[in-house]
């Protein structure tokens, strides 16, 4: 005899979520952005720390720009970068990259006609000894030098999204900026869950004066504009990426606390809580092991919205100059550096980071809506 399979609440929620196309697409996009943030230095063309290779001759080149580079070894650069170090910080380039229009290679030296976008200006020449280009190697004639240098010391570069005002690869910095947004979001959500659940649990479970105190604290923090609190915290802690993580994280907990308090007030008199008290369980155990697992669904939904809010806050702080500091790439700081180009022909330098912020925030908001619908126990 066939029996209908009884699904658990989690399985029912998963089935509902799979039917929400926008939620699934948003989740896939978020996972893709997360992988890009994690493995950015293995994906981007400029693998140096912060993708900060500056080639001033290539300032504000258009998307798709191509140029040949002469690779000149740097002194005292030893490449001992391990996998973990490159994953987190990239690796220094062992070469100085010199863009050129043409070369005149001789036995002892190479004359470089440096790339010059303005054909009406004077040609810039730079004479470099071949011993600096190929240390420890001597050539017998001009042909041998030409053949070797053309084969081993020249790299063709294509800049998919062009370069910024400092000649840095814009595509590399745009992808690397994903890491800051994800890092701020994860840390802010983690801190908001810890602080919010703690404060909300105290107020909702113990009630009385404890609840009055927690509710007063929530209302005070709630009444102050979030951006103002973050700015005040960053002024106290100083500028920097760690300070931004802390400042944003300390402002995201209020909504979690309110939801946690309300949910605990609604379940604290239920049978399973009373059973825990009758068995002599400590209050901490009743809250952490019995109440919190039963009210976690709305907290998950709030966390998705907090992730989006944290990304916007970080971008705003970096745009104001009190967030992530150069040369670390952040979408907010990239908009700040390039917003003057909006009225010029290079408006994409400011528009693309703005679109990246919009898409990632929209993805988290749509994911939050999909989770809310999937976890709604009243929905058939």
Q: In terms of pLDDT, which residue wins out, 152 or 76?
A: 152
Per residue in 5-33, pLDDT tens? 777 777 888 899 999 999 999 999 999 99
Give dist(CA 150, CA 27) in Å, integer. Answer: 47
**Residue length of the chain:** 380
Give dist(CA 210, CA 348) in Å, integer. Answer: 53
Q: What is the mean pLDDT of residues 81-102?
A: 89
Name the residue ranges covered by the structural domains of the chain: 49-159, 170-374
Residues 6+ apart with CB under 8 A from 184: 244, 245, 248, 310, 311, 313, 314
Per residue in 125-144, pLDDT tens? 899 999 999 988 888 999 99
Where does residue 220 rank: exposed (0-12), middle (13-18), buried (19+ CB within 10 A)? exposed
Share above pLDDT 90 across residues of the chain, in percent, rounded to a whole number: 58
pTM above 0.95, yes or no: no
> Is pLDDT at 121 greater than 70 in this prediction?
no
pLDDT for res 2: 47
Averaged pLDDT of the chain: 89
Q: In terms of pLDDT, which residue wins out, 250 or 163?
A: 163
Per residue in 32-88, pLDDT tens? 999 999 999 999 999 999 999 999 999 999 999 999 999 999 876 666 678 888 898
Q: How far is CA 367 from CA 106, 207, 363, in A?
A: 62, 33, 6
Domain 170-374: CATH superfamily, name plus number: MetI-like (1.10.3720.10)
Bond from prior residue into 327 cis (ω within 30 degrees of 0): yes
Where does residue 356 rank: exposed (0-12), middle (13-18), buried (19+ CB within 10 A)? buried
Per residue in 173-193, pLDDT tens? 999 999 999 999 899 899 999
Helix 292-320 and helix 170-206, axial crossing angle in degrees, nearest 10: 140
Give dist(CA 253, CA 229) in Å, integer. Answer: 13
């Amino acid at each position: 005899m066939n029996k209908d399979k009884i699904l658990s609440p989690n399985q029912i929620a998963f089935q509902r979520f799979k039917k929400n196309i926008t939620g699934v697409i948003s989740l896939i996009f978020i996972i893709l952005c997360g992988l890009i943030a994690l493995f950015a230095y293995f994906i981007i063309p400029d693998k140096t720390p912060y993708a900060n290779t500056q080639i001033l001759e290539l300032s504000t080149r258009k998307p798709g720009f191509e140029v040949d580079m002469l690779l000149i070894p740097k002194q005292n650069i030893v490449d001992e970068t391990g996998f973990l170090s490159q994953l987190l910080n990239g690796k220094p380039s062992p070469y100085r990259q010199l863009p050129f229009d043409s070369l005149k290679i001789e036995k002892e030296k190479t004359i470089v006609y440096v790339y010059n976008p303005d054909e009406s200006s004077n040609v810039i020449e730079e004479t470099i000894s071949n011993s600096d280009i190929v240390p420890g190697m001597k050539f017998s004639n001009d042909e041998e030098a030409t053949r070797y240098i053309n084969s081993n010391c020249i790299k063709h570069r294509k800049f998919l999204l062009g370069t910024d005002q400092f000649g840095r690869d814009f595509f590399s910095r745009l992808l690397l900026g994903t890491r800051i947004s994800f890092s701020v979001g994860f840390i802010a959500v983690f801190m908001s869950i810890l602080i919010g659940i703690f404060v909300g649990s105290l107020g909702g479970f113990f009630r009385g004066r404890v609840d009055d105190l927690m509710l007063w604290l929530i209302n005070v923090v709630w009444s102050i504009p979030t951006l103002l609190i973050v700015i005040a915290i960053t002024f106290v802690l100083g500028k920097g990426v760690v300070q931004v993580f802390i400042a944003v994280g300390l402002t995201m907990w209020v909504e979690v606390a309110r939801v946690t308090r309300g949910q605990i007030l609604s379940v604290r008199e239920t049978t399973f809580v009373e059973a825990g008290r009758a068995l002599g369980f400590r209050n901490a155990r009743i809250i952490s092991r019995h109440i919190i697992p039963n009210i976690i669904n709305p907290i998950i939904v709030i966390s998705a919205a907090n992730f989006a809010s944290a990304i916007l806050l970080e971008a705003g702080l970096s745009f104001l100059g009190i967030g992530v500091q150069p040369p670390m790439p952040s979408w907010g700081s990239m908009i700040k550096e390039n917003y003057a180009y909006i009225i010029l022909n290079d408006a994409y330098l400011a528009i693309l980071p703005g679109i990246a912020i919009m898409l990632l925030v929209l993805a988290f908001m749509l994911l939050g809506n999909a989770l809310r619908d999937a976890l709604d126990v009243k929905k058939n």
